[in-house]
Structure 1
Amino acid sequence: MITIDALAPADRPGWERLFAGYNAFYGRETMPPGFYDNAWAEFQSGERMHALGAKLDGDLVGIVHFFVHPSTTSADVCYLQDLFTSPEARGKGVARQLIAAVKDWATGQGCGQLYWHTKQDNHTARLLYDKVAENRGFIQYSIPLEP
């Protein structure tokens, strides 16, 4: 049975393992010092960024990170930034349930839209995304900024 809930302090080791897997998937193998501590603190405060975990038979097997931001053309929108499931849990509905939980949360916050990005060649994830969301055909451009 899959359960979705906010991440508790005891979930930290499993969350970090999953988030490291997510970052490795996107080619970010080495993160700066304090990266995971800072992210965890943000999620635990729940003020700016939010996180949920999926447990399958009590084991943390999936995570999702998201936040709300204003929109010039609608009510505030919810951006699903990170979604990752452990390889052994894939195909069991974990990602679908995490997306549904964020959708429910965003609806409860009065958001006008939930959206996310993925790489064009992320074919496995896109099989699910094409079933639960609309691809509006936007292309993302990015300029990295140095702090």
Structure 2
Amino acid sequence: MSEIRILPVEQRHRADWDKLYAGYAEFYRVTQTPEMRDRVWSWIHDPAHETNGLVAEDAEGRAVGLAHFRGFARPLSATTGGYLDDLFVDPQMRGKRVADALIEALAEEGRRRGWSVIRWITAEDNSRARAVYDRVAKLTPWRTYDIPL
């Protein structure tokens, strides 16, 4: 893992990020267009937007993993938490604890920001990711509901 560095997404990561984010959408069978990726990319680089991004960079400076996150209010506890929206690692880099490094970097960012928790969801059948998440976090008993609009 010493060859992996975690840092905020920079303009030079665009091509790698695009490939990773397209791979993430494909994994979840979500139709995603280049225009959609352009929009998310612009959010990540807009200081006024809530979306932030990290990348895992290999020794050659290539982005091999990504994490998108944002803060969210937790009124019941009167705190702010961090929400991990997207996490994806290049399939060739899996098993090298790149996801662990991204999650730990996000936890460090959360501590700096004074967040009370880092939270995320994953698909029930995403067994490989769940093995990582079970190792680095605590499974909660909460269910997630959506109302499509």
Q: Same fold (TM over 0.5)?
A: yes
Q: Which residue of 2 aligns with 1:36?
A: 37
Amino acid at match of 1:59: R
RMSD, aligned α-carbons:
1.1
Q: Which residue of 2 aligns with 1:135?
A: 139
Amino acid at match of 1:44: H
User: Whole-Å Cα distance in 2 between the matches of residues 112 and 130 of structure 1?
Assistant: 19
User: Whole-Å Cα distance in 2 between the matches of residues 104 and 33 of structure 1?
Assistant: 31
**Alignment equivalent of 1:25, drawn from 20, 27, 39:** 27
1:9 aligns with 2:11: yes
User: Whole-Å Cα distance in 1 between the matches of residues 45 and 102 of structure 2?
Assistant: 18
> What are the superposed Cα offsets for residues 79-119 of structure 1, whole Å, 9 maximum, x if unpaired?
00100000000011100000001111011111111010001
Q: How many residues align?
A: 144
Does structure 1 retain, via aligned residues, the 8 Å contact 2:13–2:62? Answer: no
1:85 aligns with 2:86: no
User: Whole-Å Cα distance in 2 between the matches of residues 32 and 18 of structure 1?
Assistant: 13
Instruction: Report how far residue 11 of structure 1 moved.
Output: 0.6
Q: Which residue of 1 aligns with 2:122?
A: 118
| Structure 1 unaligned residues grouped into runs of 5+ | none
1:102 aligns with 2:106: yes
Amino acid at match of 1:142: D
Q: Which residue of 1 aligns with 2:55?
A: 53
Instruction: Report how far residue 17 of structure 1 moved.
Output: 0.5
User: Whole-Å Cα distance in 2 between the matches of residues 97 and 31 of structure 1?
Assistant: 26
Give identity over the alignment, percent: 35
Secondary structure class of the residue paired with 2:66: strand
User: Whole-Å Cα distance in 1 between the matches of residues 39 and 74 of structure 2?
Assistant: 26
Instruction: Report how far residue 137 of structure 1 moved.
Output: 1.9
Instruction: Report how far residue 46 of structure 1 moved.
Output: 3.7
Amino acid at match of 2:35: G
Amino acid at match of 1:54: A
